[in-house]
Amino acid sequence: MNQRLEEPPVQAEARVRRFTPAERWIHRTTAVLMGICVATAACLYVPALAELVGRRALLVTVHKWTGLLLPIPVLAGLASRAFRADVGRLNRWGAHDRVWLRAARRRAPGPRPAAKFNAGQKLYASWIAGATLVMLATGLMMWFTHLTPLMWRTSATFVHDWLALTIGIVLAGHIGMALGDPEARRGLRTGSVSREWADREHPLWRP
């Protein structure tokens, strides 16, 4: 009995809180919406999938509305203080981030200093946010064709197509990294990570 009473503090020490429920839901809903966007885009675009699925009018409708909803979880999430704080952390770069990037670029072994988010995560977060907004803008130009000059629509299609391909590749990298790090996934699933993982992957993070 006595031993059990002593256990909780040890466990609290072993697990570190990383994300609030609100943050996990923002990630989850964004991931689902992005997944639907990518899946419908693939069925509209990849010939083999298009032949398999057909139903173009339905796919177009789902793709357009999902794309429109995609920024909503992040925007709504700004109501959460914890999320705003993390957006601030993703925004600000310190000297250690340059060290991290240099080491990652050279694939050098040895320490890669990072606070709550490493430089790769910061880079990804900023880029995917910008890219999503570009996709939204070009998508709207293709959707409401009468709002912008005629020439713009072909140009918007061009940017939308190539950026979609780029996002697909980067997103695959993002998911690949997550698949390679179960503890990082646990952080987004349960909200907490092991102390050992936090010290190893994010040595400058002081939760």
Which residues of the chain form contacts with other proteins (CB under 8 A)?
A: 45-47, 50-51, 53-57, 85, 88-99, 110-111, 113, 115-116, 122-123, 125-127, 129-131, 133-134, 137-138, 141, 145-146, 150-159, 161-165, 204-206
C-beta closer to other proteins: residue 53 or 69:
53
Structure tokens at 180: 């390679």
Nearest distance from residue 106's CB to other proteins, in Å? 13
Nearest distance from residue 22's CB to other proteins, in Å? 19
Rg (CA), the chain: 21
Q: Phi/psi zone of residue 107: left (φ > 0), alpha (ψ -120 to 50 degrees), beta?
A: left
Nearest distance from residue 141's CB to other proteins, in Å? 8
C-beta closer to other proteins: residue 33 or 141:
141
Query: How far apart (Å, rounded) are the C-alpha atoms in residues 114 and 206?
Result: 11
Closest Cα to residue 205, out of 9, 19, 4, 8? 19
Nearest distance from residue 132's CB to other proteins, in Å? 9
Structure tokens at 125: 């977060």
C-beta closer to other proteins: residue 14 or 60:
60
Closest Cα to residue 142, out of 44, 30, 36, 34? 44
- Answer for the pair 187, 193: CB distance below 8 angstroms, yes or no: yes
Contacts 24+ apart (CB under 8 A), 95-99: 96/204, 97/122
Nearest distance from residue 92's CB to other proteins, in Å? 4
C-beta closer to other proteins: residue 179 or 196:
196
C-beta closer to other proteins: residue 1 or 130:
130
